[in-house]
Amino acid sequence: MKKNTLLSAVVSISAMFALTACPEEEDNNANNTNNTNNTTGSNNATFGAVTVADQTADPANTVVVATVASVGPGFIVIHADDNGAPGEVLGNTAVNDGSNSDVSVTLSRDTVPGEVLYAMLHIDAGTVGTYEFPGPDGPATDANGDVITPRFTTGYDFRTDAWDDYTQVDRIGMPAVSTVLAGTLTDADPTATKEAYNAGTPTDDLASAFAGIAVANLAALHGALRDDLTGTTVCATFDDTDPANPIVDPSACLSQEVATGVTVANIVIPDLIVVDPANSSFPNGRKLADQVIDITLSVILLDIAQTGLVIDVNPDTNDKDFSETFPYLAAPH
C-alpha cells in the first residue's frame, strides 16, 4: 500500500512538472521562431532563388527575369557590371512572396548588346512596395550567406530570314573595288551602274557581268593619274599614237601576282575577301594596321615587281594605339 501511495505521488509530481513545462516550452519555441525571423530580417538569409537567361532585350530598355522565389515580398534589382561584380542599379521591380515568373524590369537606359548584367534579389523590409536601398531593403542571401545575384548577358538579335527576303543595297569585299572600279569614271550614268553592281553577287562577277566596267575604269584611272605617277613604273601600257587620246591597256596590272598563284584579277573578280587561317595578312583578311588602300592602289597602278608597294596615301600609323584586347579597336576620341 505504501508502495502504491509512493508511486502515485511520483506520477502526480511528474505530471505537475510536465504540465508546468509545456507552456514554458511553447514560449521558448515562440521566442526561437521570432529570433529566426528577426535574424532573417537582419541578415536577409531568406534562401530565395532567381533564374535568368541570356537574352536580347526587347524593347532595348527592358529585361525579363525568368523566375524569382522570394520569402516575403521583395524586389528584383538589375545591376550593371563593374569589373566582374554588380555595379550601378539600372532598375527594379517589386515581387510577391513566393514564386514569380517572367518578371519584367524597365531599365534607366537601353541595354548594350554583349554586356553583362546582374539580377539581384532584395527583401522588402521597409515600406512595402517601395524600394529603399541603401536602407532596410537589403540584398537577400542564400543558405551560405551569399547574395542571390545571377549574372546574364544581353545578346544580339540574329535574324533567321532567308537572304532573299532582303534588298541588297551595297557590297564590298576587297577595299576600293566597288568604290573605284564600279561605274566611277567611264559611264554616262555611273549611279545606275554602281547600284547594279551593289545589287549583284560574286556569282555575277564570275560571269563577267562587271568585268568590262572594272577594266574600263582601271584604264581611265591610269589615264587620269599618269602625270602623278611619273617617276614610277606603272603596270599599264600607253599607246600615244594620238597624244590627245592615248590608249591605255591595264591588262598587265590584272595579271601581276600579289602572292604565289594569286593575281590582281583574282582578288578583284569576284569581289570577295577571303580568310585563310594559314596566312594572316592582307589580302587574306586584314589586320587593323594593314595599309589596305596603299596596297590596293599599288597593285592596280604599279608594276610591283619593279617598284614594290610604294604608294603612300595612308597615315603610317593609327592616330591612337590599338587595344591589346578584343575587339582591339582604339578607344573613341
User: Per residue in 196-212, pLDDT tens?
Assistant: 888 888 899 888 888 88
Confidence at residue 287, expressed as pLDDT on a 0 to 100 scale: 80
Confidence at residue 294, expressed as pLDDT on a 0 to 100 scale: 83
- pLDDT of residue 4 exceeding 70: no
Query: Considering only CA atoms, which of 233, 248, 219 is closest in space to residue 302?
Result: 233
Contact by Cβ (8 Å): 121, 140:
yes
- pLDDT of residue 5 exceeding 50: no
Strand partners, 318: none
Flag the least confident range among 262-266, 300-304, 312-316.
Answer: 312-316
- pLDDT of residue 195 exceeding 70: yes
182: its cell numbers: 564600279
Q: Looking at per-residue confidence, does 176 or 141 come out higher? A: 141
> Quick one: pLDDT band at residue 268, thresholds 50, 70, 90?
confident
Confidence at residue 23, expressed as pLDDT on a 0 to 100 scale: 37
Q: Looking at per-residue confidence, does 13 or 332 come out higher? A: 332
Q: What angle do CA 76, 79, 84 make, to 5 degrees?
A: 130
Q: Looking at per-residue confidence, does 140 or 307 come out higher? A: 140
The per-residue DSSP string of 107-121 comes to: -SS---TT-EEEEEE
Q: How far apart are CA 148 and CA 95, in angstroms?
A: 14
21: its cell numbers: 513545462
Amino acid sitting at position 249: D
Ordered structural domains, the chain, with CATH: 49-153 (2.60.40), 167-307 (no CATH)
Beta strands in the chain (DSSP E): 49-51, 62-70, 74-81, 86-95, 98-106, 116-123, 151-153, 237-239, 247-249, 257-259, 262-263
> Quick one: pLDDT band at residue 54, thresholds 50, 70, 90?
very high
The per-residue DSSP string of 1-21 comes to: -HHHHHHHHHHHHHHHHHHHH
User: Per residue in 151-191, pLDDT tens?
Assistant: 999 987 777 889 889 888 888 887 777 877 876 666 778 88
Confidence at residue 183, expressed as pLDDT on a 0 to 100 scale: 67
- pLDDT of residue 37 exceeding 60: no
Q: How far apart are CA 227 and CA 27, in angstroms?
A: 105
Contact by Cβ (8 Å): 266, 294:
no
User: Per residue in 216-262, pLDDT tens?
Assistant: 888 988 988 888 888 888 999 999 898 888 899 999 999 988 778 88
Tell me how far CA of residue 104 lies from CA of 36, 117, 121, 141, 242, in angstroms.
32, 14, 14, 22, 77
- pLDDT of residue 147 exceeding 80: yes
Average pLDDT, the chain: 80
